């Protein structure tokens, strides 16, 4: 997974999967935003593979204790689960007590069960300079199969910084996924795949966006494919 660009439909409700099929390659299941996520997984019989995310509250999500790792470990036993998101800060010991050992154990379990690991970094305040973004991407990519970075863009320069960092990190051999949150960075979601970004996130229903500035799923699919020139040929 993630050798090619993967467009995930980001949702807290797996019953949306049939609607996502037409446009998405996978579903990002936001377990932290879901009601009874393990029961939803038990009854999931969709076609799209799942990337499971149980975002910690200290990283902008709604899961506020280490129990999120138990839920993720159980999630990995489901055949449909092809990838798991783990925060870089947890793996690097820059997170609350207990996070590092749990995150490392989860990554080991993922590796044993052939589940891809997306190592993520979020900045809800700003977008650092390109060189700092490249460092973050290199760190995240070194810890898993894909290093993912989402920062907040306040102006066009921030979007440009993310595009440049995506290009540089990819050229340096790192497998990355990048995007800016916020309206001034929205277009990065369509453009960074051209510079190597391997994962896109978009809600099936725009009312349920999981981050600021996301395009609706069908729109992002059309933009990514259109910019790639899929309908133009050589």
Ligand X SMILES: O=C1C[C@@](O)(C(=O)O)C[C@@H](O)[C@@H]1O
Given the complex with ligand X, which of 197 and 229 has the nearer CB atom?
A: 197
Q: How many angstroms separate the Cα of 214 from the Cα of each of 12, 41, 76, 146?
A: 15, 25, 27, 20
> Could you say whether residue 211 binds ligand X (CB under 6 A)?
yes
CB of 180 vs ligand X, minimal distance in Å: 8
The site string for ligand X over 102-121 (x = CB under 6 A, - otherwise) reads ------------------x-
Helix (H) or strand (E) holding 197: none
Count of residues interacting with ligand X (CB under 6 A): 13
Is 107 annotated as contributing to ligand binding? no
User: Is position 174 annotated as part of the catalytic site?
Assistant: no
Nearest Cα neighbor of 185 from 217, 157, 148, 145 is 157
User: Is position 23 annotated as part of the catalytic site?
Assistant: no
For 201, phi and psi rounded to 5 degrees?
Answer: -130, 130
> Can you tell me the distance from the alpha carbon of 1 to that of 132, in angstroms, rounded to the nearest whole number?
27
> Can you tell me the distance from the alpha carbon of 157 to that of 119, in angstroms, rounded to the nearest whole number?
25
> Could you say whether residue 28 binds ligand X (CB under 6 A)?
yes
Contact yes or no for 150/179 (Cβ under 8 A) = yes
Selected range binding ligand X among 106-114, 132-140, 208-216, 222-230, rule: CB under 6 A:
208-216
Is 189 annotated as contributing to ligand binding? yes
Question: Which residues of this protein are in contact with ligand X, per CB under 6 A?
Answer: 10, 28, 30, 53, 85, 120, 150, 179, 181, 201, 210-211, 214
- Binding site per annotation, positions: 28-30, 55, 189, 210, 214
* Residues belonging to the active site: 122, 148
């Amino acid at each position: 997974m993630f050798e090619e660009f993967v467009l995930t439909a980001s949702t807290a409700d797996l019953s949306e999967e049939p609607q996502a099929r037409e446009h998405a390659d996978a579903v990002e299941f936001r377990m932290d935003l879901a009601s009874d996520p393990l029961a939803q997984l038990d009854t999931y019989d969709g076609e799209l593979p799942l990337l499971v995310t149980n975002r910690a509250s200290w990283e902008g999500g709604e899961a506020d204790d280490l129990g999120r790792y138990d839920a993720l470990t159980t999630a990995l036993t489901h055949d449909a689960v092809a990838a798991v998101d783990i925060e870089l800060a947890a793996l690097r010991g820059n997170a609350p007590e207990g996070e590092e050992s749990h995150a490392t154990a989860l990554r080991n379990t993922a590796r044993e069960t052939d589940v891809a690991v997306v190592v993520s970094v979020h900045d809800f305040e700003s977008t650092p300079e390109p060189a700092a973004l490249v460092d973050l991407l290199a760190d995240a990519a070194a810890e898993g199969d894909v290093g993912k970075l989402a920062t907040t863009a306040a102006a066009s320069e921030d979007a440009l910084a993310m595009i440049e960092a995506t290009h540089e990190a990819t050229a340096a051999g790192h497998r990355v996924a990048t995007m800016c949150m916020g309206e001034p960075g929205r277009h990065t979601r369509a453009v960074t795949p051209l510079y190597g970004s391997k994962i896109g996130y978009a809600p099936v229903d725009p009312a349920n966006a999981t981050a600021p500035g996301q395009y609706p799923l069908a729109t992002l699919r059309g933009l990514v494919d259109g910019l790639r020139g899929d309908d133009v040929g050589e």
